[in-house]
Structure 1
Amino acid sequence: MSIEVIKPGALSTFQDLGRVGHQHLGIPVNGVMDERAHRLANALVGNAPVTPTLEITLMGPTLRFHEKTTIAFCGGNLDCQLDGQPLFSNCSLNVPAGCEISFGDRHAGLRTYLAVRGGFSIEPVMGSTSTFARGGYGGHAGRPLKKGDMLFTQESATCRSVSLFPETVFAEDVLLSNDAPIRITPGREWRYFTADARRALEREPYRITAQSDRMGYRLQGPGLGLIEPREMASEAVGFGAIQVPADGQPIVLMADRQTTGGYPKIAHVCAVDLPRLAQQIPGDTVRFELVDLVEAQRLLLSQQRSFTQLEQLCRA
């Protein structure tokens, strides 16, 4: 099945769950920014979680479907439309041949994910179909979509329509509201920061600056200082690590993060809250709430159990 790109949108790239196992070679993991929305969209059309989706940022593309298929959108509300008629997120839809999907104004969130029945036909690079635009590889020609691109999927068969409300899929303490604090766990260097710095991170608001992208979210707020200067050796970093450079302004590492970093890590964003952070836009203000590692693991396991049940139900 083929899909024609009529308009490319602001930043539309193919992503999956990431290019794991290559960080020791300097290869970034990449992958989706909002794993929860990605997996929900795939589940709704009967795909496996590893199937690539189209990650659509802020201003979406216009896509013409040349054959009928089943699609689903999950994530931010970017005013998705089918031939000018509004489409709802969190449900699968059978799209007739010749129809166009387009987007209007952003109503909520920053990113939405398009899944198609059977998945997009993309050649993996180092075991992943994720696009790494800075490196020029993965996804569709190693770059965001352009006008005139032709995209292909594995199959064009439709399946039954399914709708869901995320609030009924996940436990209440997993899926918090967008304005709830982002939960964090203490980082490796937590104890080396001053009491004022630790208190500020837990109590004060931080604004996401314009210098934020898929690589990292730069925050602006009360400075976070060390008790005394320290020499730090570079080491591997993960999605959600909160590094603090010399200016004291924290940086949350995101999907396209570098493989190693030498700044002290004051905290880590809990995995279940990374999707909420990924849906925030520059100018938004976030607050943090400290939880222990046991609680972070409990929340992640709860989310995974919900995914397992949902994916089994949708494939039944």
Structure 2
Amino acid sequence: MSFTVINKGFSAAIQDLGRPGYQRFGVIVGGVMDAPSAKLANWLVGNNRGAAVIEFSYLGPAVRFEQETLFAITGALCQPRLDERAIGCGRPVVAHPGQILQVGGVSSGSRGYIAFAGGMDTPPWLGSRSTYERAGQGGWHGRSLREQDSVPVGRLTDFQQRLLHKLAASTTDCNWFASLRRAYKRPAVIRVMRDVHWPLFTEQSRTAFLETDYQVTRASDRMGYRLEGMSIQLQQKRDIYSEAVAFGSIQVPPNGQPIILMADHQSTGGYPRIAHVAAVDLPLLGQLPPGSRMHFCELAVDQAERLLLEQMEELDGLQKYVRKKLTLLIE
């Protein structure tokens, strides 16, 4: 099976849960910016959680289906249409050959996900199908999608075949949907833990970091969010050895304006790190568009671990709910 890209949208590319294990060789982990949304999209079409999806930013693509296909859209709020029919998000949908999906722009959040039953059948690179554009590897020819790309979709399981046939034969859409129930408050509260270089910053800088707002600038992308706000300074100038960094590391360059490293971050960094975003808030962070304001809130490590476990339990419950709904559809 395959689909053809009619309109590439903005930064639409194939991503999965990333390429761990190669940072020591200078290869980024990459992967989706909002993992829970990507997992939900996959669950809605019967895929495993790590199947490759299309991630788009701000403006979704338009694609023409060449065969009968089961798909779902999650993430940023948008108003997708299949031909001229509004289909909504968070539910499995069947497209017939020749039909065109138009995702359009997003109204809340910034990144959306399209999952296809069977996943993306593109060649994996180092165990992942995630697009690594700077290296020209992974995804679809190592780049974002373009008009007239004909992208292959993988084989369906027996369960997915039955689900596809059942939904294709129905005259109505699913009367239920699944959502992460995420609210995009302004300013966003991003919880952080102190990083190793916290004591090196002035007391005034540490206070400003936690008590004033910062704004995501336009000079932000999947590699890092450049922030604008109160300047943060070291107590004294010093050389910092280049060390391993991760998704959520908050570096402070000489200009004093923090940079939050995102999914496509480099493997090492030499700027001092004031804090690290708690893993539970990385999905929310990945949905903030330029212009968004955020307020940092400090957490202890044990608090961050507990919150992450609670989020994982909620996702497990959502997966079970979706599987039950899909099973009832084919009985």
User: How high is the TM-score relative to the length of structure 2?
Assistant: 0.89
Q: Which residue of 2 aligns with 1:55?
A: 55
Where does 1:25-40 land on structure 2 (aligned, <5 Å)?
Answer: 25-40=25-40
- Quick check: 2:61–2:104 contact (8 Å CA) kept in 1? no
- Between the aligned residues of both structures, percent identity stands at 40
Where does 1:238-249 land on structure 2 (aligned, <5 Å)?
Answer: 238-249=246-257
Q: 1:265 aligns with which of 273, 277, 291?
A: 273
- Superposed displacement of residue 264, structure 1: 0.8
Letter paired with 1:163: F
Distance 2:106 2:26 in 1: 35
- Quick check: 1:46–1:311 contact (8 Å CA) kept in 2? no
- Quick check: 1:10–1:60 contact (8 Å CA) kept in 2? yes
The DSSP-based 3-state class of the residue aligned with 2:307 is helix
Q: 2:185 aligns with which of 165, 178, 181?
A: 178
Q: Which residue of 1 aligns with 2:95?
A: 95
Q: Which runs of 5+ in 2 are unaligned?
A: 168-173, 325-331
* Cα distance change on mapping 1:296 and 1:176 into 2, 3 Å: farther
Distance 2:162 2:227 in 1: 44
Matched, 1:220 2:241: no
The DSSP-based 3-state class of the residue aligned with 2:60 is coil
The DSSP-based 3-state class of the residue aligned with 2:250 is strand
Distance 2:228 2:274 in 1: 15
Matched, 1:135 2:143: no
- Quick check: 1:132–1:138 contact (8 Å CA) kept in 2? yes
The DSSP-based 3-state class of the residue aligned with 1:104 is strand
* Cα distance change on mapping 1:176 and 1:200 into 2, 3 Å: farther
- Superposed displacement of residue 271, structure 1: 1.2
Matched, 1:79 2:87: no
The DSSP-based 3-state class of the residue aligned with 2:264 is coil
Matched, 1:163 2:170: no
Letter paired with 1:117: A
Letter paired with 1:44: L
Distance 1:261 1:304 in 2: 29
* Cα distance change on mapping 1:120 and 1:35 into 2, 3 Å: same
- Superposed displacement of residue 54, structure 1: 0.3
Letter paired with 1:291: L
Q: Which residue of 2 aligns with 1:117?
A: 117
- Superposed displacement of residue 115, structure 1: 0.5
- Quick check: 2:9–2:59 contact (8 Å CA) kept in 1? yes
The DSSP-based 3-state class of the residue aligned with 1:11 is coil
The DSSP-based 3-state class of the residue aligned with 1:196 is helix
The DSSP-based 3-state class of the residue aligned with 1:60 is strand
Distance 1:120 1:188 in 2: 39
* Cα distance change on mapping 1:158 and 1:76 into 2, 3 Å: farther
Q: Which residue of 2 aligns with 1:146?
A: 146
Q: Which residue of 2 aligns with 1:210?
A: 218
Matched, 1:18 2:26: no
- Quick check: 1:117–1:158 contact (8 Å CA) kept in 2? no
- Quick check: 1:182–1:286 contact (8 Å CA) kept in 2? yes
The DSSP-based 3-state class of the residue aligned with 1:207 is strand
Distance 1:16 1:165 in 2: 20
User: How high is the TM-score relative to the length of structure 1?
Assistant: 0.93
The DSSP-based 3-state class of the residue aligned with 2:130 is coil
- Superposed displacement of residue 158, structure 1: 5.9
Aligned-residue Cα RMSD (Å) equals: 1.6
- Quick check: 1:94–1:158 contact (8 Å CA) kept in 2? no
Question: Which string of whole-angstrom CA distances, capped at 9 and with x for unpartnered residues, describes residues 35-84 of structure 1?
Answer: 11111111111111110110011121110111112211111123321112
Letter paired with 1:35: A
Bigger radius of gyration, 1 or 2? 2
Moved more, 260-269 or 306-315: 306-315
Question: Which string of whole-angstrom CA distances, capped at 9 and with x for unpartnered residues, describes residues 93-142 of structure 1?
Answer: 12222211113333111110001112111111011100011111100000
Distance 1:108 1:312 in 2: 26
Letter paired with 2:179: F
- Superposed displacement of residue 313, structure 1: 4.3
Distance 2:58 2:317 in 1: 31
Distance 1:3 1:176 in 2: 32
- Superposed displacement of residue 177, structure 1: 4.1
Distance 1:74 1:188 in 2: 36
Report the structure, 1 or 2, having the larger helix content: 2
* Cα distance change on mapping 1:223 and 1:158 into 2, 3 Å: farther
- Quick check: 1:69–1:158 contact (8 Å CA) kept in 2? no
The DSSP-based 3-state class of the residue aligned with 2:92 is strand
Distance 1:46 1:104 in 2: 25
